[in-house]
A and B are shown apart, each in its own frame.
Chain A
């Protein structure tokens, strides 16, 4: 096979001829670049046999995933020409099932391998970064060695890296090995060991104590198990964040932007050593090329104009800008954004594939635009703005979004703006979280939730891109251009990768922006069609009630009342004017401590209130409840709640009331429920209340436990059942069923309901009822 020479090859064979009869193995074909590459190989390099290494996903085999890939519209022509997907696979695309974490043996007769697979996330946990970008490469190369040894053929390895392996260097970057003296083995061993270390650290008492206290403060009313679950979730999150943080810090301490570019650079080093033949057991130098694209975006021409799969680097930002949610950007207006269309990248890869270097002499190729056809942030901004000026997002009911005007105030002041907003948000969030329950608080919580998500988005992207946005790098692409000019006229047309031809404003306005906004617009249209009728519509209760139950909380859900209020109603009946005032005063003085107890734990609170019943006669209590509290309860009953309960009954469901209130108070509601689980006051042998409860009040997790035992006893399918409650302490009750509904929730429950996509009902309590605490009836 002819070696690659830089000049004077006008009459050399075309790319297709050079590759004719070869067997090329591709990895990462399910990814963006891999898919484009496969497409190009199948359409423009007819006499090549391709093998693809595809990882089975769940129960889907690699072959099935490949078939699915080939069913995509872009492959329609190739598939039609071959006479169907299966025919195409049989004829040209062999599937090698396998994973880069455990590379399988490769077909023995391969001539070249193109390794496109890799983690594209910029902030992988450090161990994952090393596993994918270093170990994966090393194992693959070992397998190539095996194949080479088996067949005796020389295999050309094309490694797809990234131009940003240059890290935090500045200025012109040559197409050459990255200069550094990092000890690969040490870093690798360190990186792989981090998961273990961090996991161990996360189980330390310090961290766990901190997280547990935080969780208990937030969830104690719901119960300790809920708090424990929250603690464990927080620990897992901490491990994830910590691994990312460690990776980023190590990368920066060595001069890279983040763990991604750092491990990619390490991966290149592995390739270089392999090519030089300096790995153990090497038979001698091998052929290897490294292709380093910069930021890859939608296609200029191939497979079609604007072709893009999934969201890459710039898209979330472009979309956020179009929605008016990206107020500034931390870049200088003249900083270069190095973008290349995906078809240029894959064309370059194929050209490199067709021109293997000499063994031991690694070829480096930057596929980039910044050096010869620079795109500045200002150009990018004004192009995107022009696009959205002409084609605004109009899906909402408020017309086109207002487009922010960027002034490029510099990274520092953008950071300041963001961190000020974040602080303000945290304060607001704390205040709303502690505000008394009201429609206004809930509305504020909803807005804050939305704003919080936006801020989170901004924080994540600005943190990620800050490095790239301020990177003043110029990637020299001399060798790539030399390769390009060495091609024949036809090949230069077929495998175009001269990035200087890109007209950036046109590219953004006519190609890229329409391509990335198209799916969003489609989604918006669908959403507009599906627009729910106004008002809170709960899901239907359905029919066929066998084995379905509906669980209801009482105070706050069915009626607007609370135990202190009902207690006063009961006690004040028995007293005359002066005593009433004294009793009111006494209770008022206890309210702060009761509120404290309520914040801490619902059961402490209930016990505190029920202590006040000490000395009351149980029979009197029943009589008072029947005679006077019926009105009190019924006049506070929400009509929507009653209607819903009756709907459940009509559907044949069992209706169950679960409450921490004492049993006499539930008497008026008996006809609505199949079962009422309420608190019983303990009485002594004379029938006088002791001020204690007969058993622990049913709150928080004990409700969920009770529900499960009730369900088991009555053959209830909890997945199909419903639960209705209003406060964060009822979280376990709601989580126990398949159809939870938050009714006029407090802010913490509201937040949870939003996150979990639960129904939120707004059952208004009757406004006309007399709310006076004094039960004295006027005549």
Chain B
């Protein structure tokens, strides 16, 4: 049995802690009394993946077995999560590919001809052929991609969208026409963290801007507390309302998978161990990696990290009706990520790593870094935020990676023009969202190149709306001052300086909590 997560209180025997900061990490000595939240160690993986998949497909929850749903002459669509999960990318073979192969085998046996595979990338960038191949596997790729039966969802292709009506709250539901008009829609997901999956899969992954704008906005996000807890997330409530209507239109067979916390392979293995338990070998590789990172030019560091592939263990696979499946899934996710934390603190410290959902094979620009820290990590709680209302957040990231012009063209303009005017999520949304969402050049790039949709940077900014609303002070340790200032934050050289700067807000001896993340954790704050 693996050890559960726990909260360490820093005393004078505590060694310096690993804190991630972009393409690197540092060893930080926290003030005595700081609470350090560690995620649980990896829970056991299923012994035989293929057997688990077969079992799930043949014994679904609240649904007939998959073979019973497959008939000759039917229209079958398989949708799957894009490269934004899992993080880091899974070492081949990807679990989605294995499931898709199993589904396709059953479909072939049933004589189904009309099969399309759609990457549910919503307004994310189109994946390259190589990236698609990595997810679905060589065989599936070879059989479907050349004919155009395996493709990225295009949320701007008006002819390929279907409007399914509105929810009782007047929210438009517009998703992929092919998916909506299928006899069966199989969705294959990777439920990396608690926010993924459920009705979010189809309702968001295959939706257009017209549909997404109802929950991807500042107002909804401020009231998603947190979006890692779908029962208390306005965004998920909206997705659930939509999902229930989608369910009436198209039969959805949801396949959800959960992974354990085996994030860092060798030589980065030490990053998922607790510092005081590092072996001589761990210490040696830590020193080696640090030396290497110190002398490597930025491009090489980028390559060192982004070439990293994780050897996740599959902890569960469930199939069937969306909500029933998702409930099972969340049990596993919570078992892997949940850590009980007693009460809030004045200061929350988080290290923003090199990777987030939107910079796979790309660069972590300042907007994405802010979203990773104040969006994902800050919201990684159940109950109440780890930091008290009016407290301070201290983040680590150099904010110096710059923008990838291919993937994030609208981010550059968002940063240069929109943030220069206001950093208030509600204000920027009100004033500029439409303009960016409808810009023909961004739409062109989204559809033909590999660019995130023009409106995407706004979503990043809405993601952090709850954090901005909740805390009074955000300080970046080691962050580029200009970039921090542009986003409305401050930068400090050291943790000591950051605490000094925050003392105006939280006093000179605040209570501090450090989320030792990644590997992923979900703070269950009582």
Q: Which residues of A contact B (CB under 8 A)?
A: 630-631, 634-639, 642-643, 646, 668, 671-672, 766-769, 777-779
Contact = CB atoms under 8 A, between A and B. Distances in A.
Interface in B437-478: 440-441, 444-445, 448-451
A631 B405 contact: no
Given A766-B403, A768-B403, A672 B412 contact: no
B449 A630 contact: yes
A773 to B, nearest CB: 14
B406 interface: yes
Interface string B419-444: 00000000000000000000011001
Contacts of B260: none
A639 B402 contact: no
A163 B199 CA distance: 101
A631 B416 CA distance: 23
A360 to B, nearest CB: 83
B335 to A, nearest CB: 32
Contacts of B280: none
B416 A768 contact: no
A646 B441 contact: yes
B450 A768 contact: no
B130 A778 contact: yes
Contacts of A768: 362-363, 401-405
A701 to B, nearest CB: 32
B449 A668 contact: yes
B130 A767 contact: no
B232 interface: no
* Most chain B CB within a 10 A radius of its CB, from A630, A636, A639, A671: A639
Contacts of B404: 635, 766, 768-769
Interface in B333-388: 362-363
A643 B413 contact: yes
B450 A639 contact: no
Nearest to B298: A767
Contacts of B409: 634, 637, 639, 642
A668 B451 CA distance: 13
Contact of A642 (B307, B441, B449): B441
A221 B329 CA distance: 67
A769 B416 contact: no
Contacts of A637: 405, 409
B449 A643 contact: no
B448 A630 contact: yes
A216 to B, nearest CB: 38
A82 B362 CA distance: 82
5 contacts: A631-B449, A634-B406, A638-B405, A671-B440, A769-B405
A193 B133 CA distance: 86
Given A630-B449, A671-B440, A768-B363, A639 B403 contact: yes
Contact of B416 (A635, A643, A671, A767): A643
Query: What 9 pairs across the A-B complex have the smallest Cβ distances?
Result: A635-B406, A766-B405, A639-B412, A768-B363, A671-B444, A768-B404, A777-B130, A768-B402, A779-B130
B134 interface: yes
A779 B128 CA distance: 10
B106 to A, nearest CB: 27
A635 B402 CA distance: 13
Which range contains the number of B residues in contact with the other chain? 20 to 34
A472 to B, nearest CB: 62
A634 B412 contact: no
A672 B441 CA distance: 7
A638 B409 CA distance: 10
A494 to B, nearest CB: 67
B134 A631 contact: no
A234 B98 CA distance: 76
A768 B409 CA distance: 12
A624 B128 CA distance: 14
A105 B130 CA distance: 94
Contacts of B412: 639
A769 B413 contact: no
Given A634-B409, A768-B363, A779-B92, 10 more contacts: A634-B405, A635-B405, A639-B403, A639-B405, A668-B449, A767-B402, A768-B362, A769-B405, A769-B406, A777-B128
A766 B449 contact: no
A642 B449 CA distance: 15
A234 to B, nearest CB: 43
B2 to A, nearest CB: 31
B329 to A, nearest CB: 28
A634 B449 contact: yes
B301 to A, nearest CB: 12
A778 B308 CA distance: 12
Nearest to B405: A766
Nearest to B406: A635
A553 to B, nearest CB: 18
Contacts of B401: 768
B444 to A, nearest CB: 4
Contact of A634 (B133, B403, B440, B445): B445
A541 to B, nearest CB: 15
Contacts of A634: 405-406, 409, 445, 449, 451
Contacts of B363: 768
A768 B134 CA distance: 23
Contacts of A778: 130, 307
A768 B302 CA distance: 10
Nearest to B417: A643
A634 B446 CA distance: 12
Contacts of A646: 441
A779 B362 CA distance: 14
A668 B448 contact: yes
Contacts of A642: 409, 441
Given A631-B449, A779-B134, A766 B441 contact: no
Contacts of B445: 634
A17 to B, nearest CB: 77
Nearest to B302: A768
B130 A639 contact: no
A709 B134 CA distance: 52
A638 B412 CA distance: 10
Contacts of B441: 642, 646, 671-672
Contacts of B440: 671
A637 to B, nearest CB: 6
Contacts of B362: 768
Nearest to B441: A671
Nearest to A643: B413
Contact of A636 (B92, B129, B405, B451): B405
B89 to A, nearest CB: 10
A563 B260 CA distance: 48
B29 to A, nearest CB: 33
A150 B259 CA distance: 118
Given A766-B403, A768-B405, A779 B133 contact: yes
Interface in B104-145: 128-130, 133-134
Contacts of B129: 777
Contacts of A668: 448-449
Given A671-B440, A766-B402, A639 B134 contact: no
B415 to A, nearest CB: 9
Contacts of B417: 643
